[in-house]
Amino acid sequence: MAPRATALRLVAKRTLTPSLCQTMKMRYSTVPLAYDLHEPAKPSVGNPNKNSPIVFMHGLFGSKKNNRTISKVLARDLGRSVYAIDLRNHGDSPHDPHHNYTAMAADVGDFIKQHDLKDPCLIGHSMGAKAAMTLSLTSPTLISSLISVDNAPIDARLESDFARYIRGMKEIESSEVTKQSQADSILQSYEPSVTIRQFLLGNLHRPRHPESQVQKFKVPLSIIGKALDHLGDFPFKDPREVRFEKPALFVRGTKSKYVPDEVIPLIGQFFPRFELVDVEAGHWLISENPEAFRRAVVEFLSPKE
């Protein structure tokens, strides 16, 4: 299970400034993304989209392994291949000083091209959802559909504990722990929830070094720490300038604040063919209510009569 939802406060819509326009047009150096491929045992009979794969993206501090179970289930139920990927600076993917949605979207776009994926569906949770939305708006011809899991195309300020988590994780690294139990003991003073601590400590690993047992985090803490202030932002502000005209599904948790009712009209402006499904869960709805999430995705991606 992943950690509980964090509070979120909407930020007033900003005017698109010249500097932001330049940032959106910037071509970042992309990184090759690590991934796990989950193949269906039996292709879906009678499904015209059976050869259209799914690209699944995790959230902040997550990795491809968090989506392993649901990816296997979706591959089975839909008869489609599912690529669970590690976004930049997460899991087994390379580190890069640029950690924003434009750069992440560029990575995923290159991944789709390099693997010659035809009309994939993008599924992204939280940070991964904004990366997926960004790619769908910048390169709509690359993908067939979009599933955004508990996030919206808005600027929002995260009133979260992420900065505190970074401090705790940095203390763990400076303490040169050799056991996860030692790391957990340090992290207890930063986060009381066992579930959240286990989620964060899932990033710990022992680098290949024959003379050291010291554990480090796969996530580059300094890079993520500097990026936190902007991870609530969305690179597009004006739906009159860019839209995704293909099918889109927005799944939100009923106990989460990430997709409030007042942003639904804006979702419809950016994604005019969107559907909305509410799942009885918090922000981490894939792990909290996997069956409801599975049903929503399968219904959305199954052939319509």
Catalytic residue annotation: 126, 283
Cα separation of 89 and 95, whole Å? 4
Closest Cα partner for 199 from 33, 66, 293? Answer: 66
CA distance 203 to 87: 14
CB 54 within 8 A of CB 145: no
DSSP state of 142: G
Number of helices (H), then strands (E), belonging to the chain: the values are: 11, 11
Dist CA 107 CA 123 (whole Å): 15
Backbone angles phi, psi at 255, to 5 degrees: -105, 10
Q: Find all residues with CB under 8 Å of 83, minimum gap 6, and list them.
A: 35, 36, 37, 38, 53, 54, 55, 56, 111, 115, 117, 120
Q: Is 160 exposed, middle or buried (0-12, 13-18, 19+ CB in 10 A)?
A: middle
Q: Would you say 123 and 297 are in contact if contact means Cβ atoms under 8 Å apart?
A: yes
Could you tell me which residues are beta bridge partners of residue 41?
none
DSSP state of 302: S
Beta strand spans in the chain (E): 7-10, 35-38, 54-57, 82-85, 121-125, 145-149, 156-159, 204-205, 216-217, 248-253, 274-279
